[in-house]
Amino acid sequence: MKGPEASEYRIARLRDRLADEEISELGVRIDMRGGYVHLWGTVSTAACRTEILRIAETELGGLPVRADLTVACATVPERPEELE
Amino acid sequence: MIRVAAVGDIHLSPDSRGLLRPAWETLGDCADMLLLAGDLTRHGTLEEAEVVAAEIKGLPVPVVAVLGNHDYHSDLQDDVTSVLERAGATVLEGGGTVLDVDGTRVGIAGTKGFGGGFAGRSAGEFGEPEMKAFVRYSRRCAADLARSLLELRDRRCEVRIALTHFSPVPDTLAGEPPEIYPFLGSYLLAEAIDESEADLAVHGHAHLGTEHGMTAGGVKVRNVAQPVIGHAFAVYHLPVDLRIDVPAVG
């Protein structure tokens, strides 16, 4: 089977691969839009982001990728929330 | 007023050693406790648990935690719990703990919780043994949470907080694909929180969700997954309700 369906399976395999032992990353959203595979979300470290992009390259086999992966911020919050 | 600091889904591993410690060391200035809403590790290994332990050891506020699904991944959840407890954390699964905050008794009931979905679109205890086991487990987590919250009321806690990893409401999942909501939480947790009239519910698990939600009964829910709150922790100022309704004894 060729075309979009094949891309779907590749994306599903990428999701499985990200969830497995290697990296266990379940917080990245992966969708096909405008002919590109979009990866977005927040990951815990820069090393994790690099690894996700490396795995994506190997699993997607040449499909064009647009990534917007940010690294979680470990700063003190500016203010509390007052709950009534 | 009680100052609650909370965060979940920190997913620590050896390459993130020391990442949160500088921010957490300031907790004594702005919070009375730190609640950890699960997924503290990436794969649930002891090596990763030791990284979490080093981050929490000797913090200026008490640390109360539940584990998340990642912390169960290596089938070492009991050992992960032991490592965190040795570092001074109280790790809850179906139980509760009481903190004394300047004379105010604050009760925290915790469970990892589980999925199953939300009212009207939830899994039922029917059919294959695997399906029944899934729903029974979710029910058991919720029942334990309700029982613990009620016990904390009987122990005269002026403030009671429900701490879970999975979400009790769909509100805080907004941003996640709707198709996966049944894997992100269960209305059974919200039902337990409402029945026992908790003051606040804190959870993690939904990295792409939103921070604010509320149960049908009006209990505020906060998704404190680190990617959602965008900081090393969030702080909530919770008023103390002095009208304690303790059932008559005998």
Number of helices (H), then strands (E), in chain A: 2, 4
Instruction: Tell me whether residues B19 and A73 touch, CB distance under 8 A.
Output: no
**ipTM of this complex prediction, to 2 decimal places:** 0.90
Question: Is residue A81 in a domain?
Answer: no
Query: Is residue A5 scored above 70 in pLDDT?
Result: no
What CA–CA distance (Å, rounded) separates B107 from B203?
A: 16
H/E stretch holding B64 reads strand B63-66
Tokens of B196: 């026992």
Return the bridge partners of B146, or none: none
Instruction: Tell me whether residues B73 and A26 touch, CB distance under 8 A.
Output: no
Place of tokens 């399976």: A9
Return the bridge partners of B225, or none: B8
What CA–CA distance (Å, rounded) separates B82 from A17?
A: 30
Q: Which fold has domain B2-238?
A: Purple Acid Phosphatase; chain A, domain 2 (3.60.21)
Residue of A25 and B164 predicted with greater confidence: B164
Question: Is residue A76 in a domain?
Answer: no
Coil vs helix vs strand at B30: helix
Which residues does chain B have within 8 Å of residue A84's beta carbon, measured at their own beta carbons? 239
Query: What is the residue-averaged pLDDT of chain B?
Result: 95
CA gyration radius, chain A: 16
Distances (CA, A) of B90 to A7, B74, B98: 46, 21, 10
Residue B197 burial (10 A CB sphere; 0-12, 13-18, 19+): middle
What CA–CA distance (Å, rounded) separates B182 from B116?
A: 5
Residue of B225 and A27 predicted with greater confidence: B225
Q: What is the pLDDT of residues B42-99, one digit of tens each?
A: 999 999 999 999 999 999 999 999 999 999 999 999 999 999 999 999 999 999 999 9
Instruction: Tell me whether residues A42 and B207 touch, CB distance under 8 A.
Output: yes
H/E stretch holding B36 reads strand B33-37
Q: What is the pLDDT of residues A43-56, one digit of tens each?
A: 988 888 999 999 99
- The domain limits of chain B are 2-238
Question: Is residue A66 in a domain?
Answer: yes
H/E stretch holding B229 reads helix B226-229
Tokens of B179: 């198709």
Q: Least CA distance to B232: which residue of chain A?
A: A74
Q: What is the pLDDT of residues B221-247, one digit of tens each?
A: 999 999 999 999 999 999 997 555 555
Question: Is residue A77 in a domain?
Answer: no
Distances (CA, A) of B42 to A44, B10, B60, B209: 10, 8, 25, 19
CATH of the domain at A39: 3.30.70.1770
Question: Is residue A27 in a domain?
Answer: yes
What CA–CA distance (Å, rounded) separates B198 from A17?
A: 39
CB pairs under 8 A between A and B: 85
Coil vs helix vs strand at B76: coil
What CA–CA distance (Å, rounded) separates B224 from B210?
A: 9
Question: Is residue A78 in a domain?
Answer: no
Pick among B237, B240, B241 to test the A interface (most A CBs inside 10 A): B237
Place of tokens 């909370």: B6
Contact B225, B37 (CB under 8 A): yes
pLDDT level of residue B9 (50, 70, 90 thresholds): very high
How many structural domains is chain A composed of?
1
Domain containing A28 equals 4-71
Instruction: Tell me whether residues A42 and B11 touch, CB distance under 8 A.
Output: no
Tokens of B51: 């990284």
Instruction: Tell me whether residues A42 and B227 touch, CB distance under 8 A.
Output: yes
Residue B247: predicted pLDDT: 56
Question: Is residue A83 in a domain?
Answer: no
Q: Does B24 touch chain A (CB under 8 A)?
A: no
